[in-house]
Each structure stands twice: as C-alpha cells, then as structure tokens.
Amino acid sequence: MKLKSFSTLLAFLGFASFAQADPLAVGSAAPDISAVDQDGKAVVFKDVYAKGVTLVYFYPKADTPGCTKEACSIRDSWGEMQKKGIQVLGVSGDKPEAQKKFAEKYKLPHTLIADSDNAVAKAFGVPVTLGFVKRQSFLIQDGKCVWNQLSASTDKQAEDVLKAFDTLPKK
C-alpha cells in the first residue's frame, strides 16, 4: 500500500510540474500584479514598469549558491544597469524576512519580492515545483515583455540582461 501511495505522489508531482501555464512570451502584456517586498511594503508592478525597462527575475531560494551568484551578478553591474535606467525586481517564494536577510547579507541594491503564495510566478507563467520557482528572467518595456530567458544564468545574469537591453529599440 505504501508503494502505491508513493508512486501516486510521484505521478502527481510529475503532473504538477507540467501542468503550468506557458511562461510570459515576448510581445505579451506584462502582468499587472502586486506583491510585498523584503520590507513588507506593497509593490505594484505596473508602477515599477512605468519608470522604465524592468527586469523581473525569478530565483528558487534566497541565500543558496546559484541564487546568490545570480543576485550578486546584478549587484556587481548595478551602476551600468542604473545608467541604462533598468528597474530590477528579484522574485522568489521566500518570506519577506528571508528576502531582507538575503538583501542585507549581500548588499543587494534592488527590490526583492516575497512571493510566498506564488501569485507572481503564476502571473508570469513561471513553473513552481515543490515550492521552488524555476530560474527565469523577463525584461518589460512599455507594459510588454520584450525579452525572456527561460533558463536564466546565475553568474552571467547581469551580462545577459545588459546584452538583451542593448538590442531593444531606443526611444
């Protein structure tokens, strides 16, 4: 009986990881959603988008090796991103307290979104497996997705984003 229950659980988990919406496609409208940041303050995504090109990147868990490399890649290129006017929202399923510790420990200058109910991930079509989002990134310009990276890099994330930004039409 236990073996049957275990195999049923595995089958369900396998189905759950494939029963996701498609990731936000280039040309699609950016999700109009709100969530809380590392300080527990509400962040209205459309208000961030209105300030300029916005990177929304998803990472599985704060303060883990790959996620730290990804966030620090952005931190280390922060000056260049700011010169280009890129807004940055990092999103994971962590609670605000964990996001705040992560931001403070690594001196991350950008906003971290605490998506503990995975509503933001769902809005962007980012897969969630066993509570962890897949590492994916999106650039939003004028309310639309203009670039996505569905298997985002860790230590080269900022480099990838800056290259993509440089290919965008300039106003």
- Whether 67 sits among the annotated catalytic residues: the reply is yes
**Cα gap 5→77, rounded to integer Å:** 48
Say how far apart CA 89 and CA 36 lie, in whole Å: 11
3-state secondary structure of 162: helix
d(C-alpha 136, C-alpha 98), whole Å = 20
Output the six-digit token pair for 86: 């890129």
Q: Active site residue: 67, 91, 112, 140, which one?
A: 67
The count of other CB atoms within 10 Å of the CB of residue 11 is: 10
Active site residues: 67
